[in-house]
Amino acid sequence: MSFNKQELVQSTTFADQKRKTVEVAEFTEDGRYKRKIRSFVLRTGRLSEFQKHAMNQHWHFYGLEHQNQLFDFKSIYANDNPVILEIGFGMGHSLVEMARQNPHFNYLGIEVHTPGVGACIANAVEKDVKNLRVICHDATEILRDCIADHSLAGLQLFFPDPWHKAKHHKRRIVQTHFVEKISQKLAQGGFIHMATDWENYAEHMLTVLQQVKELKNTSITNDYIPRPEFRPLTKFEQRGHRLGHGVWDLYFTKK
């Protein structure tokens, strides 16, 4: 992927405008709307010229924007293949690899970290992956406004921010209202696959998932499953294994 200085000067506007503070809704324990909180400032660091260029040059194909109407997946992907949503894909390496290995599925990734979005697009272009689209926006609003009920084949949430301090647990994405919303968006038989390297968060995830009556745990021990081979091992996870960190996978399906 080559580009000159003039291209860079002319093409930075779109990618740079994605660098913003994201606010999301906070809910009470029983799922009632409370207020909006600053869930995260986009910890972008420096958006590299390579990542900017990937976003600016290929967003027209890979990028989707928040809208106040439902996505038409058949039109977006030009096929009827099942759609799997991943929230918080980081730099996108595992998401691109899963899309490459499974051309019979369509993948939709949501990430607010703009260098990750740029890196994911660049990687998809390099590997000629066509069954992938990405969104740089808050997942709660995308689920609320853009994704039809019963339209997803699955939800992937791998290594979300654990917000490990107890006073910040309310900021964890895995809450009852979130899982209920995901369940509503899943087709019958659809799955929710989560993974974390924080045992406390894994226990919290398990408790929340078990509370949603439409979901069934696929674990034979009714808790966690071994890491499935179809989930690519990330560099982050490989480093954790070397340091002796545990990883917990949860896999529930919609009844």
Decide if pLDDT at 211 tops 90.
yes
* pLDDT value of residue 30: 54
197 is in an annotated binding site: yes
Decide if pLDDT at 6 tops 50.
no
**Is 80 among the catalytic positions?**
no
User: What are the pLDDT digits (tens) for 83-129?
Assistant: 999 999 999 999 999 999 999 999 999 998 889 999 999 999 999 99
User: Which of 16-25, 190-199, 237-246 shows the lowest mean pLDDT across its residues?
Assistant: 16-25
* pLDDT value of residue 11: 43
Decide if pLDDT at 186 tops 90.
yes
Distance, in Å, from the CA atom of 92 to the CA atom of 44, rounded to the nearest integer, reads: 15
Decide if pLDDT at 184 tops 70.
yes
Distance, in Å, from the CA atom of 103 to the CA atom of 100, rounded to the nearest integer, reads: 6
Name the more confident of 192 and 55. 192
Helix axes 49-62, 5-17, angle to 10 degrees: 70
86 is in an annotated binding site: yes
Q: What is the pTM of this model?
A: 0.84
Residues 6+ apart with CB under 8 A from 216: 252, 253, 254, 255
49 is in an annotated binding site: no
Q: Which of 16, 145, 161, 249 is catalytic?
A: 161
Residues 6+ apart with CB under 8 A from 106: 73, 76, 77, 79, 81, 82, 83, 84, 131, 132, 133
Q: Is the dihedral of CA 86, 92, 93, 97 positive or negative?
A: positive
Q: What is the greatest pairwise CA distance in the chain?
A: 59
What is the band of 34 on the pLDDT scale with cuts at 50, 70, 90? low
Decide the pairing of beta strands 186-196 and 215-217: unpaired
Name the more confident of 22 and 56. 56
235 is in an annotated binding site: yes
